[in-house]
C-alpha cells in the first residue's frame, strides 16, 4: 500500500462495528434461548472466526444485510465439532471460547495461526483449572488448547486478576455461567466492561459488590436485539489523524463511548486535541455518540498506570501522535503490548525510527521526543492490524510516498480502512 502524505483530511464518516461487542454478541447470542439479531456487526477476520466456531458446534447464524441473525441453542445446546475449533489470529475468540468450552459435556481442541499459537494462555488456564475445568496447553501455556469435560462440574471461584485483562475476566465470567455458586472477580485496574453489560442485557444475574464483579448463574439467557456501535479503537486512528494533520476536520458518527474505552479521548485532550462529543445516547446499555475532531497543536505528556489500562490497543497510534507533538511523551506500563499479534512496542519503535522520529524503546513502553519532521519510508506491519493502521497514519503526516508492507492485516478489524482514508483525503 502506497500512502501519500501532505494533504488535509475532511469528511463525515462511520467506522466499523465494535470488535469486542461483536464477539460477545455472537457468543451470548449462541448461548441464549431464542433469536438474537446483531445490527452493524463487525464482519472482519477475527469475528468471522468466532462465528465459524459456533456454526461448527451446530448454531444457526445467517447474515441479512449488515445484521447477523442467531438462533440460540441455550447454555447446554452446543454439539461437539467434527474438527478442531480454529481461532485464526483472534486471541479474543480463543480466550472467551475457552470459558464456554470448559462447561461443556464434550471435548474440544482450540487452535490458532502461527501468531496466536505463540501467545500466552496460562492467564486463562490457571483460573479455569481452579474452577474445575480440564484445559491444557503446550507447556501449560500456549495453544493448541485441549479441553475435556469437567469430571465434577465447575465450581465458582473468587479470583483476583494478577494483571488487568478484559479477556481473562470475560473467560472466567463465561465459565461462571456453568459454575456452582457466585463467581467473584477483582480487577487490579478497571478494564472494558462489555461482557458485564451484555450478560446483564441478556438476563444474567451480575452485579458489583465490595470491589468485586459478581455473577450468580441462573441457567437462562434470553436472546434479543443488539446494535453494535462503531469501534472507538478503530476511530482512534482517525482522531489522531484529524488532530495532527493541518486544516483537518472529521466527524465520526455512532461511536461507542463506554467510559471503560474513552481513555484515548482523554489522553488526546490532555495532549491538546480539539475533540468534541456530540449527540450522546444509549443502545443495549452501551453509550454511543458522534465524535468531532479538528486539527490542533499537540504537546507531549506522560502516561501510564490506570491511565493506559483501558486503552492498551490504542498505544501504537498514540505513539504516532506523540511523534507529531511538541515536547517529550513518556509511555509506561504497557509491557502487555509485547505479547499481541507482534511485539507492538518494538514494531512501532522501528517503524517511527525509520521515518526519522526520535524514539527510545523501554522494557514497558516508549520515550518519544516529538517535533521531528518525519520522512516517508518503507514500513512493515509485521502482520499486525494495529501497527499497519498506526504507521499508515504516520505516513499521512510525512511529505512524499511511504510504502506499507503487509497492509492487508487491517482486515482483522477494519477491512475498509484504506477506503476511509481515501474518502477523507478527497
CA distances to 110, 299, 307, 365 from 303, rounded to whole Å, are 36, 13, 6, 10
Which of 46, 290, 313, 384 is catalytic? The answer is: 313
Find out whether 124 and 147 touch, Cβ atoms under 8 Å.
no
| Beta pairing, strands 286-294 & 358-362 | unpaired
Residuewise pLDDT in 10s, the chain (426 residues): 999 998 899 999 999 999 999 999 999 999 999 999 999 999 999 999 999 999 999 999 999 888 999 999 999 999 999 999 999 999 999 999 999 999 999 999 999 999 899 999 999 999 999 999 999 999 999 999 999 999 889 999 999 999 889 999 999 999 999 999 999 999 998 889 999 999 999 999 999 998 899 999 988 999 999 999 999 999 999 999 999 999 999 999 999 999 999 999 999 999 999 999 999 999 999 999 999 999 999 999 999 988 887 888 999 999 999 999 999 999 999 998 998 889 999 999 999 999 999 999 999 999 999 999 999 999 999 999 999 999 999 999 999 999 999 999 999 999 999 999 999 998
CA distances to 49, 131, 139, 284 from 4, rounded to whole Å, are 33, 53, 46, 40
Cell of residue 23, nine digits: 464477539
- CATH tag for 2-16+229-425 (out of 1.10.150.530, 3.40.50.1450, 3.40.50.620, 3.65.10.10): 3.65.10.10
Cell of residue 350, nine digits: 522501528
Find out whether 379 and 403 touch, Cβ atoms under 8 Å.
yes
Cell of residue 58, nine digits: 451446530
Give SS3 for 138. Answer: strand
Find out whether 280 and 287 touch, Cβ atoms under 8 Å.
yes
Q: How many CA atoms lie within 13 A of 375 on its CB side?
A: 5
Q: CB under 8 Å to 91, separation ≥6 — which residues?
A: 116, 119, 167, 340
Nearest to 349 by CA among 304, 382, 301: 382
Report the pLDDT value the prediction gives residue 276, as an integer from 0 to 100: 98
Provide the 10 A C-beta neighbour count for residue 222: 14
Q: CB under 8 Å to 128, separation ≥6 — which residues?
A: 98, 99, 102, 135, 171, 172, 175
Give SS3 for 416. Answer: coil
Residues forming CATH 3.65.10.10 domain(s) in the chain: 2-16+229-425, 19-227
Give SS3 for 368. Answer: strand
CA distances to 58, 94, 182, 200, 253 from 206, rounded to whole Å, are 28, 23, 9, 6, 31
CA distances to 143, 195, 355 from 282, rounded to whole Å, are 38, 16, 42
Report the pLDDT value the prediction gives residue 189, as an integer from 0 to 100: 86
Cell of residue 401, nine digits: 510516498
Dist CA 170 CA 161 (whole Å) = 11
Rg (Cα) of the chain, in Å, rounded?
21
Dist CA 321 CA 239 (whole Å) = 10
**Alpha helices (runs of H) in 66-165, residue ranges in sequence order:** 91-101, 122-130
Report the pLDDT value the prediction gives residue 29, as an integer from 0 to 100: 98
Dist CA 275 CA 251 (whole Å) = 10
Give SS3 for 346. Answer: helix
Q: Has 66 been annotated as catalytic? A: no
Report the pLDDT value the prediction gives residue 66, as an integer from 0 to 100: 84
| Beta pairing, strands 365-370 & 327-331 | antiparallel
State the sign of the Cα–Cα–Cα–Cα dihedral 200, 205, 206, 209: positive
Dist CA 401 CA 377 (whole Å) = 7
Q: CB under 8 Å to 392, separation ≥6 — which residues?
A: 1, 3, 237, 404, 407, 417, 418, 421
Report the pLDDT value the prediction gives residue 190, as an integer from 0 to 100: 87
Report the pLDDT value the prediction gives residue 284, as an integer from 0 to 100: 94
Fold topology of 19-227: UDP-n-acetylglucosamine1-carboxyvinyl-transferase; Chain (3.65.10)
Amino acid at each position: 500500500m502506497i500512502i501519500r502524505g501532505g494533504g488535509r483530511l475532511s469528511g463525515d464518516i462511520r467506522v466499523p462495528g465494535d470488535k469486542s461487542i461483536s464477539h460477545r454478541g455472537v457468543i451470548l447470542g449462541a448461548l441464549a434461548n431464542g433469536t438474537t439479531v446483531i445490527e452493524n456487526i463487525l464482519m472482519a477476520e477475527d469475528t468471522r472466526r468466532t462465528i465459524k466456531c459456533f456454526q461448527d458446534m451446530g448454531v444457526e447464524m445467517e447474515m441479512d444485510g449488515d445484521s447477523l441473525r442467531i438462533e440460540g441453542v441455550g447454555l447446554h445446546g452446543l454439539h461437539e465439532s467434527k474438527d478442531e475449533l480454529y481461532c485464526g489470529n483472534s486471541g479474543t475468540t480463543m480466550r472467551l471460547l475457552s470459558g464456554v468450552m470448559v462447561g461443556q459435556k464434550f471435548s474440544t481442541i482450540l487452535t490458532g495461526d502461527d501468531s496466536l499459537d505463540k501467545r500466552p494462555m496460562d492467564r486463562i488456564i490457571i483460573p479455569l483449572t481452579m474452577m474445575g475445568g480440564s484445559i491444557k496447553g503446550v507447556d501449560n501455556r500456549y495453544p493448541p488448547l485441549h479441553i475435556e469435560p469437567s469430571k465434577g462440574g465447575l465450581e465458582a471461584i473468587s479470583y483476583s486478576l494478577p494483571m488487568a485483562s478484559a479477556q481473562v475476566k470475560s473467560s472466567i465470567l463465561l465459565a461462571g455461567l456453568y459454575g456452582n455458586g457466585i463467581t467473584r472477580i477483582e480487577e487490579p485496574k478497571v478494564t472494558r466492561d462489555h461482557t458485564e453489560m451484555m450478560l446483564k442485557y441478556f438476563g444474567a444475574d451480575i452485579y458489583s459488590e465490595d470491589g468485586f464483579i459478581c455473577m450468580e448463574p441462573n441457567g437462562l439467557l434470553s436472546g434479543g436485539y443488539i446494535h453494535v456501535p462503531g469501534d472507538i479503537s478503530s476511530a482512534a486512528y482517525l482522531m489522531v489523524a484529524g488532530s495532527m494533520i493541518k486544516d483537518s476536520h472529521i466527524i465520526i458518527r455512532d461511536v461507542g463511548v463506554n467510559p471503560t474505552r474513552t481513555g484515548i479521548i482523554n489522553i488526546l485532550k490532555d495532549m491538546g486535541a480539539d475533540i468534541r462529543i456530540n449527540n450522546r445516547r444509549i443502545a443495549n446499555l452501551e453509550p454511543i455518540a458522534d465524535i468531532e475532531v479538528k486539527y490542533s497543536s499537540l504537546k507531549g505528556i506522560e502516561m501510564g498506570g490506570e491511565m493506559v489500562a483501558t486503552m492498551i490497543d490504542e498505544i501504537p497510534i498514540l505513539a504516532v501522535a506523540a511523534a507529531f507533538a511538541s515536547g517529550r511523551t513518556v509511555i509506561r506500563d504497557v509491557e502487555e503490548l509485547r505479547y499481541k499479534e507482534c511485539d507492538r512496542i518494538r514494531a512501532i519503535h522501528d517503524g517511527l525510527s525509520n521515518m526519522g522520529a526520535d524514539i527510545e524503546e523501554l522494557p514497558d513502553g516508549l520515550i518519544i521526543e516529538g517535533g521531528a519532521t518525519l520522512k516517508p519510508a518503507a514500513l512493515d506491519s509485521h502482520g499486525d492490524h494495529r501497527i499497519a493502521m498506526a504507521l499508515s497514519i504516520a505516513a499521512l503526516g510525512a511529505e512524499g510516498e511511504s510504502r506499507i508492507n503487509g497492509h492487508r492485516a487491517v482486515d482483522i478489524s477494519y477491512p475498509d480502512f484504506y477506503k476511509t482514508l481515501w474518502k477523507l483525503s478527497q
